[in-house]
Structure 1
Amino acid sequence: MIKWEEKSRIKIPGDVQVSMDGTILKVKGKLGETSRNFRDKYVRVSISENNVIIEASKENKFIKGIVGTWVSETNAMFEGVTKGYKYEMKIDFTHFPMRVSVRGDSLYVENFLGGKAPRIAKILKNCKVSVKGDRVIIEGIDKRDIGDTAANIEKATYIKHFDSRVFQDGIYLLKGVNPDEL
């Protein structure tokens, strides 16, 4: 029998419903629903009254790191379903004007550095992407999906074999807005 020693309690906000399905924590709020699989040999997640409890069976720095990560991810899930997240990226070009558009679940960058083939960035499932002038706005409830989508867009316009001091064309993260600033 494992003795569960370390405990972290996270208070569930009043306008959020939380449920467990095995090791999957599901969080539902006014903006939508998100879930995360919290599976580990030495750390477990449970729900008790108005708290999410994260317990560890061992006490060492690696397990404490997992507990801390899960606490911050759970808090991010609560903030995401109640307030949402928004990232803003800037389209920057000096040599060739590029055309950026959203088609389905992809962002297309055409005429990048005068190239004929479009560069394509995948948009993850829980993200809404829009292009307004020289800005790309990414919105959603899952902070991890929004960050991955921003990384996909930035990676699609990465320039190889050119001097980055001269060729600064691309799409770059301008700011990630915290939920309190929305």
Structure 2
Amino acid sequence: MRTEKIAIPDGVQARMEGKTIFLSSGGKETSRPIKAKHINISVEDGSVVISTASVKKADAAILLTIKSHISNLIKGLTQGITYKMKVVYSHFPVTVKTQNNILHVENFLGEKNPRSMNFPQEVQIEVKGPEVVLRGVNKEVVSQTAAQIEQLCGVRKRDRRVFQDGIYIVEKDGKHLVR
């Protein structure tokens, strides 16, 4: 049997409804369904208790993965998740705009039609010149949105060594990826 505990910080409320954990703090709420066999989750005395009766290594790995997911939810509620992206272009000046949960990338590689994508309401996108900042509570949603923006500006049928235009992730939650 293996048991892991995650302390819930002050100001964060947690509750379980079926196989879904709900966390809320200061008007913000996030949830995550936990669909793992052999794993029991409960909220007791200001902490989330995750346990398994199994002795298999695979079940222990799943238990620690769920612990990381819940820790990321708590971190997102208390500190927030921030990703920074940089708009890179060599010849055609690229313009990035947001409007009604739609991101528009205009004049990418001189294209006449803008490239567009919808993004979730949980993510706030702020454009400051050549920098795009994504903020949110759920790490998975923010990171997936950043990846979709990167893929939106993918260059196809051209040499990537020459055509390096795009929007790239340069900072993940305070960790710089590019020097």
Shorter-chain TM band = over 0.9
TM-score normalised over the length of structure 2 = 0.93
The CA RMSD measured in Å over matched residues stands at 1.4
| Residues 1:11 and 2:45 are matched in the alignment | no
**Correspondent of 1:29 among 17, 20, 25:** 25
Stretches of 4+ moved more than 6 A in 1?
Answer: none
Is 1:42 the equivalent of 2:38? Answer: yes
Q: Is 1:99 the equivalent of 2:101?
A: no
1:83 lines up with 2:79 in the alignment? yes
**In 1: Cα distance, 2:29 partner to 2:21 partner:** 11
Aligned twin of 2:107: 111
Superposed CA deviations along residues 97-152 of structure 1, whole A, max 9, x for unmatched, are 11110011121111111112211133123110011000000011111110011011
Aligned counterpart, 1:154: 150
* Structure 1 unaligned residues grouped into runs of 5+: none
Distance (Å, rounded) in 1 between the aligned partners of 2:4 and 2:118: 36
Q: Describe the superposition over 1:7-61 as per-residue Cα deviations: whole angstroms up to 9, x where unpaired.
A: 1111111211001111110001126110000122211211111110111132222
Identity over the aligned pairs, expressed in percent?
34
TM-score (norm 1): 0.91
The aligned residue for residue 140 of structure 2 is 144
Unaligned 5+ segments in structure 2 are: none
What letter matches 2:62 in structure 1? I
**How far, CA to CA, are the matches of 2:151 and 2:87 in structure 1?**
13
Alignment partner of 2:21: what SS?
strand
> How many aligned positions are there?
175
Q: Distance in 2 between matches of 1:31 and 1:84?
A: 13
